[in-house]
């Protein structure tokens, strides 16, 4: 991994002055990922918060080639550009090393773009796909997505007298991607920036597709004070809600283990989207969420043990 002194000298690809919210976790995630390479990049971005807030015509916050496409097909777009690059390089028309990266929110990755992503991974394109996961369709009004956690209240699955928010657990997208047997898959968070930048460097260096799933807190949708974004990002790790792990050439590894995991109620109390779960009648839901987290950690431990080289 590059040293901090080396990282601060790398030019910013995403500039200041964009229109993402103050305290937006997605913008922090994007900037940290792009520190992972010194090569020029071609950026693709599906419709979502990052796209609409950084490329409002006639302005752009990107100091790179940037392609906006539909909500569902950023993986297909970047895989096509990467294929064209390889063809031109083979003919000697392009000589420099260029990296290709796609950004999508959880709506454009877990749900609408999953087919496109799966196809690109299966074909083996040399590209990095980054999901900035803010756990709902935040750009269009905080609607429920496949990444929305159990118990969270959204505009399409609100908490009320009949339903206590979303009743299903989130989709385990990182495991789904790992099942494609690509060279590199990882989960990361913006508070542990060294871990994230290190994973981004690995992702850019592999020969073939790589995938980063990054928890990107959203104060508008999660309902917490905007200045607490990094605090919330840290709490996600400390409670075990968002494990930091990687799958490198089939070998699973947990990167950061909380010394003593905090109870999930600490996570729930920190955000307004869960406030209904603090009522006594919803105590069983909190217990259900805690059990799901504990079981997932057992699953991770089992995968790490099963894939360690003998």
- Expressed as residue numbers, the domain containing 98 is 10-307
Cα 235 to Cα 304: distance, rounded to the nearest angstrom:
23
Task: Identify whether the C-beta of residue 183 lies closer than 8 Å to the C-beta of residue 248.
Answer: yes
Cα 291 to Cα 294: distance, rounded to the nearest angstrom:
5
Tell me, yes or no, whether 187 lies in a domain: yes
Cα 173 to Cα 289: distance, rounded to the nearest angstrom:
18
Cα 75 to Cα 226: distance, rounded to the nearest angstrom:
31
What phi, psi does 254 have (nearest 5°)?
A: -85, 125
Tell me, yes or no, whether 3 lies in a domain: no
Cα 116 to Cα 73: distance, rounded to the nearest angstrom:
6
* Long-range Cβ contact pairs of 197-200 (< 8 A, separation 24 or more): 197/1, 197/2, 197/7, 197/32, 197/33, 197/35, 197/36, 198/1, 199/36, 199/246, 199/255, 200/32, 200/33, 200/34, 200/35, 200/36, 200/37, 200/128
Tell me, yes or no, whether 1 lies in a domain: no
Question: Looking at residue 210, which CATH number applies to its domain?
Answer: 3.40.50.970
Query: What pLDDT score was predicted for residue 228?
Result: 98
Please give the C-alpha separations between residue 110 and each of 13, 27, 32, 241, 309, in angstroms, as whole numbers. 26, 19, 22, 18, 31
pLDDT in tens, 17-75: 899 999 999 999 999 999 999 999 999 999 999 999 999 989 999 999 999 999 999 99
Cα 266 to Cα 291: distance, rounded to the nearest angstrom:
15
Tell me, yes or no, whether 296 lies in a domain: yes
Tell me, yes or no, whether 78 lies in a domain: yes
What total number of domains does the chain contain? Answer: 1
Query: What pLDDT score was predicted for residue 251?
Result: 98
Name beta bridge partners: 246.
186, 253
For residue 213, the SS3 value is: strand
Tell me, yes or no, whether 5 lies in a domain: no
Closest CA to 104 of 187, 222, 240, 216: 216
Structure-block tokens of residue 188 = 């990361």
Scanning 55-93, the segments in alpha helix (DSSP H) are: 74-90
pLDDT in tens, 61-117: 999 999 999 999 999 999 999 999 999 999 999 999 999 999 999 999 999 999 999
Please give the C-alpha separations between residue 226 and each of 128, 223, 265, in angstroms, as whole numbers. 29, 9, 21
Res 309 pLDDT > 90: no
Cα 14 to Cα 18: distance, rounded to the nearest angstrom:
9
- Segment (H or E) for 298: helix 283-307
**Span between the terminal Cα atoms of the chain, in Å:** 26
**Alpha-carbon dihedral of residues 305, 193, 143, 159, nearest 10 degrees?**
70
Tell me, yes or no, whether 4 lies in a domain: no
Closest CA to 242 of 302, 187, 179: 187
> Taking the model in full, what pTM does it have?
0.96
Query: What pLDDT score was predicted for residue 178?
Result: 98
Res 284 pLDDT > 80: yes
Name beta bridge partners: 247.
185, 252
Res 310 pLDDT > 90: no
Tell me, yes or no, whether 191 lies in a domain: yes
Cα 101 to Cα 190: distance, rounded to the nearest angstrom:
18
**What share of the chain in percent tops pLDDT 90?**
94
Burial of 26 (0-12, 13-18, 19+ CB in 10 A): buried
């Amino acid at each position: 991994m590059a040293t901090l002194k080396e990282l601060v000298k790398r030019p910013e690809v995403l500039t200041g002055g964009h229109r993402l919210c103050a305290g937006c976790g997605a913008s922090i995630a994007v900037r940290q990922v792009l520190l992972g390479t010194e090569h020029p990049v071609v950026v693709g971005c599906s419709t979502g918060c990052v796209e609409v807030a950084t490329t409002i015509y006639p302005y752009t916050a990107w100091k790179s080639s940037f392609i906006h496409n539909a909500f569902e097909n950023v993986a297909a777009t970047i895989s096509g550009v990467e294929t064209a690059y390889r063809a031109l390089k083979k003919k000697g028309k392009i000589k420099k090393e260029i990296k290709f990266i796609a950004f999508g929110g959880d709506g454009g990755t877990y749900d609408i773009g999953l087919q496109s992503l799966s196809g690109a991974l299966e074909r083996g394109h040399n590209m990095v796909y980054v999901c900035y996961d803010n756990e709902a369709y935040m750009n269009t009004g905080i609607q429920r997505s496949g990444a929305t956690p159990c118990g969270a209240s959204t505009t399409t699955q609100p908490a009320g007298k009949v339903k206590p928010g979303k009743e299903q657990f989130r989709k385990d997208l990182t495991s789904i991607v790992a099942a494609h047997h690509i060279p590199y898959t990882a989960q990361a968070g913006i508070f542990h920036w060294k871990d994230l930048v290190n994973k981004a460097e690995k992702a850019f260096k592999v020969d073939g597709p790589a995938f980063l799933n990054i928890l990107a807190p959203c104060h508008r949708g999660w309902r917490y004070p905007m200045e607490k974004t990094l605090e919330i990002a840290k709490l996600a790790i400390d409670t075990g809600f968002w494990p930091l792990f990687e799958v490198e050439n089939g070998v699973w590894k947990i990167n950061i283990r909380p010394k003593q995991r905090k109870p999930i109620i600490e996570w729930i109390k920190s955000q307004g989207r869960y406030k209904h779960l603090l009522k006594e009648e919803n105590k069983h839901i909190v217990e259900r969420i805690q059990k799901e987290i504990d079981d997932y950690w057992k699953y991770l431990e089992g995968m790490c043990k099963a894939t360690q080289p003998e």
